[in-house]
A and B are shown apart, each in its own frame.
Chain A
Amino acid sequence: MALLQISEPGLSTAPHQHRLAVGIDLGTTNSLVATVRSGLAVVLDDEAGRSLLPSVVRYHPDGKVDVGYTAQSAQNADPHNTVVSVKRFMGRGIADIDDIASLPYRFVDAPGMVQLKTAAGVKSPVEVSAEILRVLRQRAEAAMGGELVGAVITVPAYFDDAQRQATKDAAQLAGLNVLRLLNEPTAAAIAYGLDNGSEGVYAVYDLGGGTFDISILKLSKGVFEVLATNGDSALGGDDFDQRIFCWMLEQGRFAPLSAGDARLLLTKARDAKEALTEHTEVRVTAVLSTGEMMDATLTQAEFNKMTASLVSKTLAPTRKALRDAGLSADEVKGVVMVGGSTRMPCIRQAVADFFKQTPLTNLDPDKVVALGAATQADVLAGNRGGEDWLLLDVIPLSLGLETMGGLTEKVIPRNTTIPTARAQDFTTFKDGQTAMSVHVLQGERELAADCRSLARFELRGIPPMVAGAARIRVTFQVDADGLLSVSAREQSSGVEASVQVKPSYGLGDEEITRMLKDAFTHAKGDMYARALNEQIVDAQGLIAATRAALAEDGALLNAEETAAIEASIADLEKLLAGTDHQAIKRGVEALNAATTEFAQRRMDQNVRRAMAGQKLETFG
C-alpha cells in the first residue's frame, strides 16, 4: 500500500512528536480508557491498578461528585443520588424507559431527554456521563504526562442519532476533543487484529450491560467494511439481572420495597448472575432494611429458562443483519464475542448453535472495545505511517422525513456506508403555502409516530405558488461520526433553512455552555485559561499544518493565492501573542476559510494519484 504513504505525508507531525490520543469505552456498567504505547494498545489503570471504572456517579449535597468504585459502594445507601447505568438514559425520554418503576431515581421529564433530580441539583444524563469521561481523561493525562489531542469514544452501533449526539456532547463537556465516535463492534474487530492477514466475513456479537449490537464485517486488504449492523439499544446484562430480581421478589414475598432495598436486591441479582457463569447453582440470600429475609437457591438451568426470551431477543437482530448483508450464517468465517454479558454460558451456547462454530473469546470481552478504540485513535491522531487500515462503517437505522398523513419517507436507508448525503424533493400541499415544516425521523416503521423524532424545523418565506409547484429539496448529510445534519432549500427562490440535528433530543449550545460553567465552578481549572490554552494549541497546530501543506504542495497555488494564505497565517500569529481567545478563534476560522480552495486542490491531487496507482495495479 505504498500509495497511501504518498497521499498521507504526515504533515504536522514531526517524527519525535507523538500526539497523545486515547480510546474510551463509555460503557453501561464499566468504562475504560486505553492508549497505544510503543505500538501496543494498553488499558490505563487507576492508582490502585484497576482498569475498569464502574460507570457510577454519586452526587453529594455540597456539589462534590464521586465516580467509580467509591460511588458504587454507596449505591445501596444513597440510591437516589447515585446514578448507575446512565448510558441507558442518553438521548432518551421518559416514555423510552421501560422499567422506570423499578429504578430508584427521581426522574424529571425534560423536553427531549430525561433528567435526574439529585442532591446536587437536576442533572442531565449528558452531565452524568461527562463526570465519568472527566475522570478517565484525568487518568490518561496523569499516566501519559500531557494534554490529550483527542479521543475516540465508542458507542453501540445501534445507537441512533440522539444517543450519538448526547455522547458527543458529554465528551465535549468533559473537555475532550472527539476525534471520532466509533461503533463498539467495529472497535472490537480492530482489536482482534482481524486485519492481520484475515480475509472474509466476520460477525461481532456485542452484549454489554445495557445494549446489544450485532455487526457483520467484510475484511479485505486492510479495509474493514461493515456490511450490516443491527441490535437493540435497550437490551443487555441489566435485563438478565432484572429477571433474577423478579425471581427474588417471588421467593421473598416482600412488602413494597424502599429504593435502597430495591438497589440491594439488584446488586444481589447481579452477583448471582456472575456466580452462575462459573457454578451450576448459587445460593441467594438477602436481609432487607425492614428485617424481611430471603434465602433460596438458583440453578443455572432455572436461570437459563427465565432468560431464554432475552437470549432469543438477540438472535432476531442477528438474523436481520445477516439478511441485510445478503449472507447466511454458514458464510461467516468467525464470530467475535464482546461485552461482559457474553461470559454467560447460555449466551455462548446460543451463539455457537446459531453460527455452528465456537465463538472467539480469547480477548477480554471487557477490554476489547477500549483497545480497538485506542488503536483507531492512534491512527486518527496521525501517529502512524502508511500501514493504516480503513474503516467503512454504516448508519444503523434509516433516516427520513414525515410526509402528509403522518407517514415516514425514508431518505437514507439503514446500513448505508457513511459519510453519505441524499437529497429528496418535496412540494407544497396547498395553494399559496409559504412555509413548510420539516420533521426529521429515524427508524424503520411506516408511521412517523412509531419512529424516533430527531428534529423539527421550518422553512419559511417560500414564494406563494399553486399547490405542487414549489420544489423543496431536503438534503441529509451524515458525517463520519454517524451524525446527521439536514438542510432544506426552495429551488426557485433559493430560500434556505438548516439544522444540526440537535434540538429535540440533544442539547442546545446554550445548555452546553451552562453545563460547562457549572462544571468549572466545581473544578480547579480556570475556564478562561483553559479555553485560551486550547485555542492556542489549536491555532499553532493549524499554522504548522498549513505551512507543511504549503511546503509540500505550494505548486498548486499561484503567487497571489499563496500570499493570501501567508497573510492569514501572519494575522493569526499576531493574535497568538495576545490573550483574546475569541479573537484567536476567529483567526483560526479565517485561516481555515482561506485554505478551503487549497484543500480541495490537494484532495484532487490525492485522488489523481490514487487512481493512477489503481490503473497500474490493474494493468500491471
Chain B
Amino acid sequence: MDLTRNHFELFGLPAAYALDRDRLDTAYRELQAAVHPDRFAAKPESEQRVAMQWATQVNEAYQTLRHPVNRGVYLLSLQGIDALHAGNTRMAPAFLMQQMEWREAIDEARAGKSVAALDALTDDLRATHRRIEAQLGDLIDRAHDFEAATEAVRQLRFMDKLIAEVGDVYEELES
C-alpha cells in the first residue's frame, strides 16, 4: 500500500481547507468500489487482506477530510503543527466567556426540561460553528496564519463538544 500519499492526494483533491464536498464524496465512492472487501470476498486471502487495509485507509482518509475539525487538524499536521497538543491551551478570553454562557444555557434548558430552549441553543451553536469554519478556511487557505488557525481548530472542537452535550440533554429529556 502506498502510504506516502496524503489524504488529499488519495482523493485527487487540492490540499486546502475549502472542500468540494461532492467531489470528495464521488471520489470516496469510486475508491471504495475499487478496494472494498466485498469486491474480494471470493478472492484469495491475500487479496482480501489487502482490500481490508485499503478500505480501512480510504475510510480513515474520508472521515478525516469530511469532518471540519479533523480536516483542520490534518492540514495543520501537514505543516508540522500538532493542533490538539495537550500543552496548547491558548484561547481568546471572549471565546471562553461565550463558552461559559452556553454551558449555563445548557444547564438551564436541562433544569427547565425545555426542548424549545435546546432547539434555539442548537441553532445558535451551529451558526457559530459555521462562522468559525469560514474563518478557519480563510486562515489556512489565504492568510497562511497557522497559529491563528490552530486556535480556530480548537475553538471548533469546543463547539463540537457543546453540540454533543446538547445531544445528551435531548436524550435525557426524552427518556
Indicate whether A80 reaches chain B with its CB closer than 8 angstroms.
no
B56 touches A420 (CB 8 A): yes
In the complex, what residue of chain B is closest to A7 when comparing beta carbons? B34
CA distance A531 to B59 in the complex (A): 37
Interface string of B29-53 (1 = CB under 8 A from A): 1111111111101111111011110
B38 touches A417 (CB 8 A): no
**Interface majority SS (helix, strand, loop, mixed), chain B:** helix
Interface string of A380-424 (1 = CB under 8 A from B): 111000001011100000000000000000000000111111000
Across-interface contacts of A613 in B (CB, < 8 A) = 30
Across-interface contacts of B60 in A (CB, < 8 A) = 420-421
Indicate whether B14 reaches chain A with its CB closer than 8 angstroms.
no
Interface string of A581-620 (1 = CB under 8 A from B): 0000000000111011011101110110111011101100
Given contact pairs A390-B36, A419-B59, A11 touches B43 in the complex (Cβ within 8 A): yes
In-complex Cβ contact of A420 among B11, B35, B59, B174 (8 A): B59
CA distance A413 to B87 in the complex (A): 25
Indicate whether A460 reaches chain B with its CB closer than 8 angstroms.
no
The size class of the interface chain A forms with chain B is 35 or more
B residues 1-37 touching A (CB-CB < 8 Å): 1-2, 11-12, 23, 26-27, 29-37
Interface string of A317-344 (1 = CB under 8 A from B): 0011001000000000000000000000
In the complex, what residue of chain A is closest to B27 when comparing beta carbons? A614
Across-interface contacts of B47 in A (CB, < 8 A) = 595, 599, 602-603
Indicate whether B55 reaches chain A with its CB closer than 8 angstroms.
yes
In the complex, what residue of chain A is closest to B25 when comparing beta carbons? A220
Given contact pairs A12-B42, A379-B38, A477-B56, A1 touches B23 in the complex (Cβ within 8 A): no
B63 touches A416 (CB 8 A): yes
In-complex Cβ contact of B34 among A12, A592, A599, A606 (8 A): A606
Indicate whether A221 reaches chain B with its CB closer than 8 angstroms.
yes
CA distance A391 to B33 in the complex (A): 9
In-complex Cβ contact of A417 among B31, B37, B59 (8 A): B59
Among A13, A179, A323, A600, the most chain B Cβ lie within 10 Å of the Cβ of A600
Across-interface contacts of A420 in B (CB, < 8 A) = 56, 59-60
Indicate whether A310 reaches chain B with its CB closer than 8 angstroms.
no
B50 touches A600 (CB 8 A): yes
In-complex Cβ contact of B46 among A149, A382, A593 (8 A): A593
Indicate whether A223 reaches chain B with its CB closer than 8 angstroms.
yes
Across-interface contacts of B49 in A (CB, < 8 A) = 596, 599
Shortest beta-carbon distance from A422 to chain B in Å: 8
A615 touches B12 (CB 8 A): yes
CA distance A319 to B173 in the complex (A): 12
Shortest beta-carbon distance from B55 to chain A in Å: 5
Indicate whether B74 reaches chain A with its CB closer than 8 angstroms.
no
A480 touches B38 (CB 8 A): yes
Across-interface contacts of B46 in A (CB, < 8 A) = 592-593, 595-596, 598-599
Indicate whether A316 reaches chain B with its CB closer than 8 angstroms.
yes
In the complex, what residue of chain A is closest to B42 when comparing beta carbons? A382
In-complex Cβ contact of B39 among A1, A3, A7, A546 (8 A): A7
Across-interface contacts of B42 in A (CB, < 8 A) = 12-13, 19, 149-150, 179, 380-382
Across-interface contacts of A598 in B (CB, < 8 A) = 46
Across-interface contacts of A607 in B (CB, < 8 A) = 31, 34-35, 54
CA distance A142 to B102 in the complex (A): 66
Indicate whether A8 reaches chain B with its CB closer than 8 angstroms.
yes
CA distance A3 to B44 in the complex (A): 22
Indicate whether A103 reaches chain B with its CB closer than 8 angstroms.
no
CA distance A379 to B33 in the complex (A): 13
In-complex Cβ contact of B41 among A381, A604, A611 (8 A): A381
Across-interface contacts of A8 in B (CB, < 8 A) = 39
Across-interface contacts of A618 in B (CB, < 8 A) = 12, 23, 26
In the complex, what residue of chain A is closest to B37 when comparing beta carbons? A480
Indicate whether A479 reaches chain B with its CB closer than 8 angstroms.
yes
Given contact pairs A11-B43, A416-B63, A421-B60, A596 touches B50 in the complex (Cβ within 8 A): yes
CA distance A319 to B27 in the complex (A): 31
Indicate whether A542 reaches chain B with its CB closer than 8 angstroms.
yes
Shortest beta-carbon distance from B128 to chain A in Å: 17
B167 touches A323 (CB 8 A): yes
In the complex, what residue of chain B is closest to A618 when comparing beta carbons? B23
Indicate whether A4 reaches chain B with its CB closer than 8 angstroms.
yes
B29 touches A390 (CB 8 A): yes
In the complex, what residue of chain A is closest to B167 when comparing beta carbons? A323
Shortest beta-carbon distance from A500 to chain B in Å: 14
Across-interface contacts of B35 in A (CB, < 8 A) = 603, 606-607, 610
Indicate whether A545 reaches chain B with its CB closer than 8 angstroms.
yes
Among A149, A420, A599, the most chain B Cβ lie within 10 Å of the Cβ of A599
Indicate whether A164 reaches chain B with its CB closer than 8 angstroms.
no
Shortest beta-carbon distance from B30 to chain A in Å: 5
Indicate whether A180 reaches chain B with its CB closer than 8 angstroms.
yes
Interface string of B54-80 (1 = CB under 8 A from A): 111001101100000000000000000
Among A388, A390, A391, the most chain B Cβ lie within 10 Å of the Cβ of A390
A12 touches B50 (CB 8 A): no
Across-interface contacts of A542 in B (CB, < 8 A) = 44-45
Shortest beta-carbon distance from A550 to chain B in Å: 12
CA distance A610 to B55 in the complex (A): 13
Shortest beta-carbon distance from B10 to chain A in Å: 8
Across-interface contacts of B63 in A (CB, < 8 A) = 416-417
B34 touches A223 (CB 8 A): no
Across-interface contacts of A320 in B (CB, < 8 A) = 171
Given contact pairs A223-B29, A420-B56, A607-B31, A592 touches B12 in the complex (Cβ within 8 A): no
B12 touches A614 (CB 8 A): yes
A480 touches B55 (CB 8 A): yes
Indicate whether B158 reaches chain A with its CB closer than 8 angstroms.
no
A610 touches B56 (CB 8 A): no
CA distance A617 to B22 in the complex (A): 12
Across-interface contacts of A593 in B (CB, < 8 A) = 46
Indicate whether B146 reaches chain A with its CB closer than 8 angstroms.
no
Q: List 9 A-B contacts (CB under 8 A).
A: A150-B41, A316-B171, A319-B171, A417-B59, A479-B37, A599-B50, A611-B30, A614-B30, A617-B26
Given A323-B167, A595-B47, 12 extra CB contacts under 8 A: A12-B43, A13-B42, A149-B42, A320-B171, A390-B32, A417-B59, A420-B60, A592-B46, A599-B49, A603-B1, A606-B34, A610-B31
B binding-site residues for A, Cβ under 8 Å: 1-2, 11-12, 23, 26-27, 29-39, 41-47, 49-52, 54-56, 59-60, 62-63, 167, 170-171, 174-175
A binding-site residues for B, Cβ under 8 Å: 1, 3-4, 7-8, 11-13, 19, 149-150, 179-180, 220-221, 223, 316, 319-320, 323, 376, 379-382, 388, 390-392, 416-421, 477, 479-480, 542, 545-546, 549, 591-593, 595-596, 598-600, 602-604, 606-607, 609-611, 613-615, 617-618
